[in-house]
Amino acid sequence: MSWDRIRGQDAARNTLLGAAARGRLGQSYLLVGPEGVGKRLFARELAKALLCENPPNTMTACDRCPACTQVEVESHPDLLFLRTPKDKQELPIEDMRAFCGHLSRKAARGRHKIGIVEDADDFNAASANAFLKTLEEPPPDALLLLIGTSTDRQLPTILSRCQLVRFAPLAQADVSAILAAHGIDDATKRDRLARLGAGSAGRALALDDDSIWQVRQKLVEGLTGARASFQPLAETWAKFHEDAGKDKGAAQRMRASVVLQFLIEAVGHALKLSLGAAVPGLGAAEAARLRAFAERVGTDGLMELLDQCVEADFHVERRVQLILIVESVVEKFTRLSK
């Protein structure tokens, strides 16, 4: 069944499907949780269950009828998406107005009208204002699903008008199962990706990309090398963000965060090695390099680097300009490596 695709989000599922079973499905929900844990998939599945022409059970889509297919390919006339345009940082007011206008029309197929705001983190005051009336009094049979990464990122006017549904980070086993379902057969690889995914299947899947591992190698070797020239490394790292391609903002931040996780992992390994502990799975060459690095930088220096990387990761989430983050981290490595 289609809901089986969504793993590890039983609380969210029970909340919404339970409400629907009791005939008490609300009209405005904010689905909130980290990137890559299944919020968009969940919203789509819910839309499919409501729009399916031949549901085998309550709130379950058949996955075969024309409506189900149209939901999957985003061509159903009663399902609307609102996303931040690729070249913008915020939801434009004119897009918001068009979205609300479309929602106010009668459902073409006579069932529901479903509006999914995929980037609820990106409301500005104007687009939020344009949305308030629709959010407060949605048209009959309309369902509004807003998707955001945290409640901190929501404007109070939006937050107060939605029912909150929280999505948790996924367990490693769930991430691993999702990777398997995406055809990653090598169990060792799955384990490693799931661990680095840190509760996000989206991130673990994005890590299944050779270019990321090449950049990792270059950066870790460069930053932990003796008397390295750091400027080219900062450039490599910055270029790696830019290469994220069309889906700029979110993909670039994910890449920045992934690199920081690599650095945190490497510095953590150096710290362990310097204390005489073993790091299973670490190659001999990298272990020797990290040991030498730990000697040069010292325990306090390693701790300082860890702090800097963790703080940088926080800044990535807060959408500080990536180039500033890269420079601050590289500068710290430069200073401490001397």
Instruction: Please choose, out of 6-14, 46-54, 133-141, 285-293, the segment that lies near Zn ion by the rule CB under 5 A.
Output: 46-54
| Closer residue to Zn ion in complex, CB, 68/325 | 68
Backbone angles phi, psi at 199, to 5 degrees: 90, 0
Residues 62, 155, 198, 306: which binds Zn ion (CB under 5 A)? 62
Residue 333 is encoded by which pair of tokens?
A: 């490595």
Any contact of residue 59 with Zn ion (CB under 5 A)?
Answer: no
Instruction: Please choose, out of 66-74, 153-161, 248-256, 323-331, the segment that lies near Zn ion by the rule CB under 5 A.
Output: 66-74
Contacts of 91 (CB under 8 A, 6+ apart): 82, 84, 117, 119, 122, 123, 124, 127
Residue 101 is encoded by which pair of tokens?
A: 């206008």
Between CA 145 and CA 120 the distance in angstroms is 9
Instruction: Please choose, out of 25-33, 50-58, 164-172, 200-208, the segment that lies near Zn ion by the rule CB under 5 A.
Output: 50-58
CB 146 within 8 A of CB 162: yes
| Closer residue to Zn ion in complex, CB, 57/299 | 57
Instruction: Please choose, out of 68-76, 243-251, 269-277, 283-291, the segment that lies near Zn ion by the rule CB under 5 A.
Output: 68-76
CB of 81 vs Zn ion, minimal distance in Å: 19
Residues 31, 49, 68, 142: which binds Zn ion (CB under 5 A)? 68
CB of 89 vs Zn ion, minimal distance in Å: 37
CA distances to 6, 82, 212, 224 from 186, rounded to whole Å, are 22, 37, 18, 30
Burial (CB count <10 Å: 0-12, 13-18, 19+), residue 268: middle
Residues 43, 47, 49, 52: which binds Zn ion (CB under 5 A)? 52
| Closer residue to Zn ion in complex, CB, 68/329 | 68
Extended strands (E) in 64-136? 79-82, 113-117
Per-residue string for binding with Zn ion, 184-203, x by CB under 5 A?
--------------------
| Closer residue to Zn ion in complex, CB, 60/334 | 60
Between CA 46 and CA 49 the distance in angstroms is 5
For the chain, helix, strand, coil in percent to 5 are 60, 10, 35
CB of 61 vs Zn ion, minimal distance in Å: 5
Contacting positions for Zn ion (CB under 5 A):
52, 61-62, 65, 68
